[in-house]
């Protein structure tokens, strides 16, 4: 028989999961659930500068939100950014994954290099691309100007139509490797037989990719799209350091707009409402995605 | 796909070119950190040939490396002295990782080994924490912390980073525990061992590699986090990503110093990520894609 001392704390002897889960539940309740309800409370209040206090305003913030053209603009920018980045990163990620998924000499090193961008703080990436896109001495701007693609009079990050693309470039650079690494892992886990029989049957490379690789990779692709999509939708760091939402409102994302309303314009209640709106959109979209594509954990 | 030798060479060339294109901005950022001001602003940009200088690093770390004669760097002085901010980042990352891994290991074991009502919903709750936009946590947390005096404290930011890493840690560790055969637990249970004993003496030692990988990933995500650190810290502590964005002075942006700090923040993370190479994809997908 095992002695009590060896069995550990009395409450952990039983086979009940609660003691094991309790610390996690406490953290989730205090740091996820409580803030969530506090946020809902905030969304029905607003800071009154004269009283220096929060006053209840009913549904005013929510009415304001749906009537706010800047909110819709930020919503549109967020969707555009998410869609464009996701598409580029998916296609480019798959292409690069197929390219460097090889056991030839040196490819292991290449795969190692591709992991490096993932651990750079996005705020630092933002500063890197801010420097490289500087209209006077930035490397990217200079290259584009030398090629005659970009006029020296149009600074990338200070031109309404271009600024978002400058931010997208930073995101694509940092996160395409995320897709590459996941896809390589997916490619390596595929069984060899279907490919061998397809090659014996004389299928072309494109046919094999389209008819065998893609369908067999669908689960991996769905997970990569889900995780990346969530992170893109809530993106904050790049626009905060690179453009602060400008020029005008060209690069305001929902997250940045919510943050600025709260902390720069002291609209505590409205900022909270905006952040809740982003939260609901993302939860609904992610849930639909999980249901439709049957993503399982 | 069987490639001819010529195709293989072509593939290798294209692969190297593409990967080097991705590595280039990192190289360029490092060169900025060891360039003199006039070379940073040179047109056309200087990529390979420039005068090197350790001045940016000396100012950021407040030490004199002795390369430049006659430049005295005062320890503890200067606008760009950032060594304490690196220390803040390390403290926050280490402690938040410890909290996250400790709490998550217990929970992940239960989720892997026990069945209970509503388990599916519970896992989903953890997962939806991963979906929350950080701004929707940071805004209420700012006011809650203000009331409890946790604003601008290590405890405050450590706990929030631990929460942020919780879904990753729980789900990733669960996938590692799932890899360990349940028969081991069952045999020991029949022999009369308690769950805690099985966990501590049998399962934990077998999962050490996975726990280490989880810890490294938690460390990295805390190390690179921006929004919470920006919102919940003010003056007494700041993390490296937050100060990196504040190097804009009245005389322009101090790119050299910023690059030096950025490089100093990147290099340890590079070492860490190479250590967990084997489990990286599993970590990035919260345990659902195995390598």
Distance from CA of B81 to the nearest CA of A (A): 17
Q: Which has the higher per-residue pLDDT, B138 or A294?
A: B138
Q: What is the pLDDT of residue B3?
A: 80
Q: Flag if B40 and A286 touch (Cβ within 8 Å).
A: no
Write out pLDDT tens, residues A40-86. Answer: 999 999 998 888 888 999 999 999 999 999 999 999 999 999 999 99
A chain contacts of residue B130, beta-carbon cutoff 8 Å: 230
Q: How far apart are CA B86 and CA A37, in angstroms?
A: 34
Out of B114, B139, B265, the one facing A124 most closely (by C-beta) is B265
Q: What is the dihedral of CA B258, B260, B264, B270, to 10 degrees?
A: 90
Q: How far apart are CA B284 and CA A175, in angstroms?
A: 11
Query: Is B92 in the same domain as B176?
Result: yes
Beta-bridge partner residues of A27: none
DSSP-derived secondary structure for B172-205: HHHHHHHHS-HHHHHHHHHTT--HHHIIIIIIHH
Write out pLDDT tens, residues A170-219. Answer: 999 999 999 999 999 999 999 988 888 888 888 888 999 999 999 999 99
Q: Is A255:A278 a contact under the CB 8 Å cutoff?
A: yes
Q: Is A289 exposed, middle or buried (0-12, 13-18, 19+ CB in 10 A)?
A: middle
> By CA distance, what is A221's nearest residue in B?
B289
CA distances from B31 to A238, B80, B244 (A): 22, 18, 17
- Lowest-confidence segment of A34-38, A89-93, A157-161, A277-281 by average pLDDT: A157-161
Query: Is B49 in the same domain as B92?
Result: no
Residue with tokens 């009395």: A10
Query: Is B244 in the same domain as B161?
Result: yes
Out of B8, B126, B132, the one facing A104 most closely (by C-beta) is B8
Question: Domain residues for B22?
Answer: 5-53
Query: Is B112 in the same domain as B41?
Result: no
Q: How far apart are CA B160 and CA B152, in angstroms?
A: 12
Note down pLDDT in tens along chain B; length 291 residues. Answer: 678 889 999 999 999 999 999 999 999 999 999 988 778 887 778 888 788 888 888 888 877 766 655 555 555 556 777 888 888 999 999 999 999 999 999 999 999 998 888 898 999 899 999 999 999 999 999 999 999 999 999 999 999 999 999 999 999 999 999 999 988 888 898 888 888 889 999 999 999 999 999 999 999 999 999 999 999 998 888 898 998 877 766 667 788 888 999 999 898 899 988 888 889 999 999 988 887
Superfamily grouping for domain A60-292: MetI-like (1.10.3720.10)
Q: Is A169:B24 a contact under the CB 8 Å cutoff?
A: no
> By CA distance, what is B116's nearest residue in A?
A17
- The domain spans of chain A are 60-292
- B143 part of a folded domain: yes
Distance from CA of A275 to the nearest CA of B (A): 5
Q: How far apart are CA A32 and CA A47, in angstroms?
A: 23
Query: Is B173 in the same domain as B226?
Result: yes
DSSP-derived secondary structure for B33-48: HTB-HHHHT-SSPPSS
Residue from A1, A115, A124 to probe the interface with B (highest B Cβ count within 10 Å): A124
B chain contacts of residue A199, beta-carbon cutoff 8 Å: 1-2
Q: What is the pLDDT of residue A137?
A: 82
Residue B91 belongs to domain with CATH number: 1.10.3720.10
- B88 part of a folded domain: yes
B76: left (phi over 0), alpha (psi -120 to 50) or beta: left
- B278 part of a folded domain: yes
Kindly state the DSSP code that residue B78 receives in the 8-state scheme: S
Q: Is A116:B224 a contact under the CB 8 Å cutoff?
A: no
Q: Is the pLDDT of residue A9 over 60?
A: no
Q: Flag if A131 and B255 touch (Cβ within 8 Å).
A: yes
- pLDDT-derived band at A1, boundaries 50, 70, 90: very low
Distance from CA of A28 to the nearest CA of B (A): 7
Query: Is B20 in the same domain as B106?
Result: no
Question: Helix, strand or coil for residue A45?
Answer: strand
Q: What is the pLDDT of residue A11?
A: 52
Triad A118, B31, B76: Cα angle to 5°: 90
B chain contacts of residue A207, beta-carbon cutoff 8 Å: none
Question: What mean pLDDT comes out for the span A156-171?
Answer: 93
Beta-bridge partner residues of B35: B52
Express as a percent the part of chain A with pLDDT over 70. Answer: 95
Q: Flag if B170 and A272 touch (Cβ within 8 Å).
A: no
- Lowest-confidence segment of A110-124, A238-252, A277-291, B32-46 by average pLDDT: B32-46
B chain contacts of residue A137, beta-carbon cutoff 8 Å: 40-43, 45
- B263 part of a folded domain: yes
Per-window interface: A 2-21 vs B, CB < 8 A = 2, 6-9, 12-17, 20-21
Write out pLDDT tens, residues A93-131. Answer: 999 999 999 888 899 999 999 999 999 999 999 999 999
Could you give the number of structural domains in chain B? 2
B chain contacts of residue A259, beta-carbon cutoff 8 Å: 135, 138-139, 227, 231
Query: Is B150 in the same domain as B271?
Result: yes
Query: Is B37 in the same domain as B112?
Result: no
- B61 part of a folded domain: no
Closest to B220 (Cα-Cα) out of B241, B243, B234, B245: B241
Per-window interface: A 269-288 vs B, CB < 8 A = 271-272, 275-276, 278-279, 282-283, 286
Closest to A245 (Cα-Cα) out of A168, A173, A157: A157
Q: How far apart are CA A243 and CA A253, in angstroms?
A: 11
Distance from CA of B17 to the nearest CA of A (A): 10
Closest to B274 (Cα-Cα) out of A95, A118, A172, A180: A118
ipTM for the complex shown: 0.90
Q: What is the pLDDT of residue B1?
A: 61
Question: For residue B228, how many other CB atoms are within 10 A of its CB?
Answer: 24
């Amino acid at each position: 028989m095992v002695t009590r001392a060896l069995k550990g704390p009395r409450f952990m002897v039983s086979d009940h999961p609660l003691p094991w889960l309790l610390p996690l539940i406490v953290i989730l309740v205090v740091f996820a659930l409580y803030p969530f309800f506090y946020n809902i409370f905030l969304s029905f209040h607003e800071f009154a500068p004269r009283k220096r206090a929060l006053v209840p305003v009913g549904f005013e913030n929510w009415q304001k939100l749906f009537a706010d053209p800047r909110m819709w603009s930020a919503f549109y920018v967020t969707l555009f950014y998410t869609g464009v980045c996701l598409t580029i990163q998916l296609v480019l990620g798959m292409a690069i994954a197929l390219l460097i998924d090889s056991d030839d000499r040196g490819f292991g090193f290449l795969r190692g290099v591709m992991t490096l961008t993932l651990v750079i703080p996005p705020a630092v990436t933002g500063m890197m691309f801010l420097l490289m896109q500087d209209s006077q001495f930035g490397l990217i701007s200079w290259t584009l100007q030398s090629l005659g693609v970009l006029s020296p009079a149009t600074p990338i990050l200070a031109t309404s139509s271009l600024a978002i693309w400058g931010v997208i470039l930073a995101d694509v650079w940092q996160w395409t490797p995320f897709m590459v690494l996941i896809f390589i892992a997916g490619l390596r886990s595929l069984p060899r037989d279907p490919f061998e029989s397809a090659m014996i049957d004389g299928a072309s490379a494109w046919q094999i990719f389209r008819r065998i690789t893609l369908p067999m990779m669908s689960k991996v692709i769905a997970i990569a799209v889900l995780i990346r999509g969530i992170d893109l939708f809530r993106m904050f760091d790049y626009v905060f350091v690179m453009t602060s939402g400008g020029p005008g409102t060209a690069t305001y994302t929902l997250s940045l707009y919510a943050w600025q309303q709260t902390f720069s314009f002291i609209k505590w209640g409205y900022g909270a409402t905006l952040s809740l709106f982003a939260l609901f959109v993302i939860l609904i979209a992610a849930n639909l995605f999980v249901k439709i594509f049957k993503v399982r954990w | 796909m069987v490639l001819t030798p010529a195709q293989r060479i072509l593939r290798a060339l294209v692969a190297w070119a593409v990967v080097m294109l991705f590595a280039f901005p990192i190289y360029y950022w490092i060169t900025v950190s060891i360039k003199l001001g006039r070379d940073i602003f040179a047109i056309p940009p200087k990529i390979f040939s420039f005068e090197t200088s350790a001045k940016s690093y000396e100012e950021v770390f407040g030490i004199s490396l002795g390369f430049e004669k006659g430049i005295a760097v005062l320890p503890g002085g200067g606008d760009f002295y950032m060594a304490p901010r690196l220390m803040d980042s390390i403290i926050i990352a280490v402690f938040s990782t410890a909290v996250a891994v400790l709490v998550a290991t217990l929970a992940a074991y239960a989720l892997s080994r026990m069945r209970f009502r509503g388990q599916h919903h519970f896992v989903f709750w953890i997962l939806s924490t991963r979906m929350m936009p950080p701004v929707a946590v940071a805004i209420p947390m700012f006011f809650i912390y203000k009331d409890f005096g946790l604003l601008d404290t290590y405890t405050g930011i450590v706990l929030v980073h631990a929460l942020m890493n919780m879904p990753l840690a729980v789900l990733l560790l669960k996938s590692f525990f799932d890899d360990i055969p349940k028969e081991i637990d069952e045999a020991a249970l029949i022999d009369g061992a308690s769950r805690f004993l099985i966990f501590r003496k049998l399962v934990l030692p077998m999962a050490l590699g996975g726990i280490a990988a989880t810890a490294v990933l938690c460390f990295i995500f805390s190390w690179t986090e921006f929004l919470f650190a920006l919102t919940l810290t003010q003056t007494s502590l700041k993390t490296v990503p937050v100060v990196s964005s504040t190097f804009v002075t009245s005389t322009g942006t101090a790119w050299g110093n910023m690059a030096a700090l950025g490089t100093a923040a990147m290099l340890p993370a590079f070492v860490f990520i190479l250590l967990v190479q084997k489990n990286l994809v599993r970590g990035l997908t919260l345990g659902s894609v195995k390598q």
